[in-house]
Amino acid sequence: MSGTSPASPTTNDQDLVDRTVVVIGGSSGIGLETARLARARGADVVLTARDPDRLREAARQVDARSVAAFDATDLALLERFFADLPEPVDHVLVTGGGPYYSSLADMDFAAARRDIDDRLLTTLAVARYGAARMRPPGTLLFIGGTGGRRAGVGLSLISALTAALPAMVASLAVEVAPIRVNLIAAGFVDTPLSAALLGDQLDARRAELRATLPIGRVVGPADVASLAVHLMTNTALTGATYDIDGGQQLLTNRAGSR
Ligand SMILES: NC(=O)c1ccc[n+]([C@@H]2O[C@H](COP(=O)([O-])OP(=O)(O)OC[C@H]3O[C@@H](n4cnc5c(N)ncnc54)[C@H](OP(=O)(O)O)[C@@H]3O)[C@@H](O)[C@H]2O)c1
């Protein structure tokens, strides 16, 4: 039949053989689990993060091909990282720091401006510098959230950025085609970032989510990694946002918040 996709979705468990996956923010949480799964599916992986010791340990765990320690919000370093890659790469996942929550009264505008820069300009820069070094039908993958889809005190900035990213990703997918661009929108994911944000409330939050989420369990980084690898291998997917929150955004009570 003519006009069908050249590469159909596959369930082959070595479907990333001969592929290179770059994970920016790959030493912890969602990035590290995605690197681990991509490697298990046959990919070569390149990891970046800021802390070189943690990065080396992550690279050892997943047998990474190479690492680069730099702050991805420094756009000159980001450009140099992609320019210095010895060969074209197939997929790029971008994770990074946590969101900036603040009530309007307490908002530090300098920190808010940095957060806007870090999330929006870093996404644009990865798309420009990364897509130039990628080969189709690879995907750029960014991570946003579902928590900021609600309105609430302290959420004004994060809700604006949450709404902006799907729109940006859709336009980028048109602009850098045939490289694909997709967004993962996560709810609570049980990672070191969540542990740091919640402190001694972490166990109570996990218990609350187990009791209230439609899936009856907490979403972990391996769940997000599985979605990320699917987005890499299913070459029909571009310009879209994929929610992964165990049904958290469907809850109307407090459990629906972060
Ligand atoms: N966990 C959740 O519930 C959740 C929900 C929705 C969205 N997200 C988003 O998903 C992303 C990953 O979250 P996670 O929970 O996996 O966090 P995590 O466990 O803290 O991992 C973050 C990774 O990104 C690296 N990183 C942070 N800032 C960076 C920077 N400026 N430049 C380069 N690398 C940087 C960290 O290493 P270094 O610190 O050494 O740089 C680490 O490898 C974040 O953007 C977060 O906002 C998370």
Range of the domain at 52: 20-244
Domain presence at residue 32: yes
Domain presence at residue 73: yes
Segment holding 233, helix H or strand E:
helix 221-233
Residue of 33, 55, 95 best suited for mutating to test ligand 1, as the one with most atoms within 8 Å of CB: 95
pLDDT tens readout for residues 234-248: 999 999 999 999 999
Q: What's the CA-to-centroid distance between 1 and ligand 1, angstroms?
A: 44
CA dist 62 and 45 (Å) reads 8
The enclosing domain of 92 has a CATH number of 3.40.50.720
Is the pTM value of this prediction over 0.85? Answer: yes
CA dist 225 and 214 (Å) reads 20
Look at residue 142 and tell me whether its pLDDT is greater than 80.
Answer: yes
Domain presence at residue 214: yes
Number of domains in the chain: 1
**Nearest partner of 124 among 176, 159, 160, judged by Cα:** 176
**Contact (CB, 8 A) for 41 and 231:** no
Domain presence at residue 3: no
pLDDT tens readout for residues 153-189: 999 999 999 999 999 999 999 999 999 999 999 999 9
Domain presence at residue 15: no
Domain presence at residue 256: no
Domain presence at residue 5: no
Domain presence at residue 41: yes
DSSP string, 164-186: HHHHHHHHHHHHSTTSEEEEEEE
Q: Residues 6 or more apart from 55 whose CB is under 8 A from it?
A: 26, 27, 47, 48, 49, 67, 69
Q: What's the CA-to-centroid distance between 224 and ligand 1, angstroms?
A: 13
